[in-house]
Amino acid sequence: MKKLILITVIICVQLNLVGQTIEKLDEKNGFKNIKLGTSYKSFTGLVFNSRDDVKKYEIYNYVTPPLDLLTLFDIKFDQIYLMFDFSGKLVGIRLIKKYSKDFQKAFLDDSFNITLKCTSSFGKPTFSIGNGTTEIGQGWKSEKVQLEAKTIISNNIDSELTVHYFSSDFLKKLKDNSY
């Protein structure tokens, strides 16, 4: 419970910081050199993870990414996943870092830093994420890209920090189809 309260306080403090503009997300249109809309065929080292036939996308673990793709704001992530629609177009990028119970201070520090640096880069978050108990985070929505940074907290297993980049067009299609 202490972790949740601390993360909530940290995120509230971050909401008051002045940052750049949300349009920077559209300029980047992805994460580092991975651009949303890129064809599946442009990547090597992808291993199939899962498929959603209703929402019409597949997720692949990017097992051989360039090492710089596993780092965001000086935080080294464990895995990167790429999400493609059924036409083979990249519609999502997900970075994941897990923390065991022994590394909860690092988890809290990294959670604080991600929110702080995203706010500094893209301005105040445009929406909140999570259920307020085990999952909490912030999001930035621009015309082309939606960025989400969230934590999943558990007292019994690993805690997790995730960062998602989504194509706004893809999310709009999901919403229009009531998913």
The per-residue pLDDT for 18 is 47
Distances (CA, A) of 100 to 80, 146, 158: 19, 28, 5
Token pair of 41 as six digits: 């065929």
What does the pLDDT profile of the chain (179 residues) look like in tens digits?
555 554 554 555 544 444 468 888 888 899 999 999 999 999 999 999 999 999 999 999 999 898 889 999 888 999 999 999 999 999 999 999 988 877 777 888 888 888 888 888 888 999 988 876 778 888 999 999 999 998 887 766 678 889 999 999 998 888 877 66
Closest CA to 94 of 106, 77, 109, 108: 77
* Cα–Cα dist 34/171, whole Å: 18
Helix pair 104-122, 2-14: axis angle to 10 deg = 20
Pairing of strands 34-35, 71-72: unpaired
Q: Where are the domains of the chain?
A: 2-176
What DSSP assignment string belongs to 87-153? TSBEEEEEEEEEE-GGGHHHHHHHHHHHHHHHHHHH-S-SEEEE-SSSEEEEEEE-SSEEEEEEEE-
Its pTM stands at 0.82
The per-residue pLDDT for 179 is 61
Task: With beta carbons less than 8 A apart as the criterion, state whether 161 and 113 touch.
Answer: no
Tabulate helix, strand, coil % of the chain (nearest 5): 30, 40, 30
The per-residue pLDDT for 77 is 92
The per-residue pLDDT for 15 is 46
